[in-house]
Amino acid sequence: MDLSDWEDVPSNGGSDYDAPIRSDRMAFSDYKAAKSGTEVISPRDSSSTTLVLVGKTGSGKSATGNSILGGKRFNSRMSLGSVTRVCELGQITRPDGRRIRVIDTPGMFDTALDSKSIAREIGKCMDLAGDGLHGILLVLSAKSKFTEEEFAAVDAFEKMFGSGVLNYVVVVFTNGDALEDDGDGTSLEEFLSQNGTPGALKDLLHRCGDRKILFDNKSKDKRKLEAQRRDLLEIVDTMITANSRIPYTTEIFELAKAQEEAREKKESMENRLSQLEQNFPQKINELRESYEKDKAEQEEELAKLRELAEESKRSAIAAEAKMEEQCKRAEEQRRHAESERARFEQERIKLEEERKRFEKEFKRREKEFEEKMKNSRCTIL
């Protein structure tokens, strides 16, 4: 990707922000092509926040992404099928200089997708994320019921990403206009406290730390859109702080995937052992030994992955400490230079005063000499 892929969006040219922003929209295939070239991908920046939108088709993921980015970056329309076909990245720089990167995904919660397809899309998403995800926005529609199929999809999503993934999840309810159109001004809290709210949804919100927000993607009120953007980023910032500013990285995902594979293999082996105990008792010991061996290998592999994740964390902490030390050293050098400059200025002033004093003394003696010479001439005459 070169500079021509960026477009400057003026404050009155489709953006809901009051100051100019910069935006970019890149499909996963374009990202892979750019990554395979000679371009240098920028390292992680503390002012950059990467979010990913997940949910089933029709929940309003793309529209939510557009609302967050303040303009139409992703295709969004009413459709029976998924409008988003591949993972796409959109990004803007807010007026305060903070870069917001949003990844839109196909309907990964759709029951039509198998686990391999979901895993493939997750891999693309992690590639686009680069140095990791700061937040996962689970998009649900306030107009639709939270079905058993959706709950099963969330459960599968959690198993695939690992139990710790919910520490990075914010639940975004779309169709906020529908609640306002009810006439009684139902709030999100009131909506969720109703008797018809499934217990599975309440449990999900509880496990996500009750991080939730209501979005109205149809509103034309720029102040309202900016307010809900600001509220979302405040929730995300609180979550980032709670996660020690450590994003959800590929290493964590690989560790979670290895744990899930180990769990599935363990369950499979246990089922096989149970069947063999019933049908082939003579093979039980042999299979149990094989199971224990595989289990030990899996635990060793998991230990290596954990160590890799810890090493990555230690490296990040060390780099941050080094940067702080360099900043401290630079500040000390600046203060020393300032002190030297002040000392040189005092010396200059002192020398200037000394010069003036010598010049005054010289003029005085010159005048005395001239008077003596004049008196000498008078005496001779």
Residue 253 lies in a domain: no
How many Cα atoms sit within 13 Å of 317 on the Cβ side?
8
How many Cα atoms sit within 13 Å of 254 on the Cβ side?
14
Q: From 129, 169, 122, 117, select the one nearest 249 (Cα to Cα).
A: 129
Q: What percent of the chain has pLDDT over 90?
A: 20
How many Cα atoms sit within 13 Å of 220 on the Cβ side?
0
Residue 90 lies in a domain: yes
Q: From 41, 46, 45, 83, select the one nearest 66 (Cα to Cα).
A: 83
Range with the lowest mean pLDDT among 92-101, 123-132, 301-310? 123-132
- For 252-283, the DSSP string reads HHHHHHHHHHHHHHHHHHHHHHHHHHHH-GGG
For the CA atoms of the chain, what is the radius of gyration? 34
Q: Give the torsion sign (CA, 28, 33, 37, 39).
A: negative
Residues 286-326 have pLDDT tens digits of: 778 888 888 888 888 888 988 888 888 888 898 888 999 99
Residue 348 lies in a domain: no
- Would you say 211 and 137 are in contact if contact means Cβ atoms under 8 Å apart? no
Residue-level pLDDT at 100? 92
Range with the lowest mean pLDDT among 96-100, 118-122, 208-212, 348-352? 118-122
- Would you say 255 and 165 are in contact if contact means Cβ atoms under 8 Å apart? no
148: tokens are 């058993």
Residue 201 lies in a domain: yes
**Number of domains into which the chain is organized:** 1
50: tokens are 């990467």
Which domain, by its residues, includes 133? 3-248
Residues 323-354 have pLDDT tens digits of: 999 999 989 999 998 999 989 999 999 999 99
Q: Pick the residue with more confidence: 125 or 239?
A: 239
The confidence band for 223, taking pLDDT boundaries of 50, 70 and 90, is very high
Q: What is the pTM of this model?
A: 0.57
Q: Mean pLDDT score of the chain, rounded to an integer?
A: 77
Residues 358-377 have pLDDT tens digits of: 989 998 888 888 888 888 87
Residues 18-46 have pLDDT tens digits of: 433 344 444 444 444 444 443 333 334 45
**Cross-strand partners of 99:** 48, 93
Residue 206 lies in a domain: yes
Residue-level pLDDT at 110? 64
Residue 64 lies in a domain: yes
Q: From 82, 77, 124, select the one nearest 103 (Cα to Cα).
A: 124
User: Would you say how long the chain is, in residues?
Assistant: 381
Residue 362 lies in a domain: no
Residue 75 lies in a domain: yes
The confidence band for 82, taking pLDDT boundaries of 50, 70 and 90, is very low
**Cross-strand partners of 101:** 50, 91
Neighbours of 8 (CB within 10 A): 9
Whichever domain contains 136, its CATH number is: 3.40.50.300
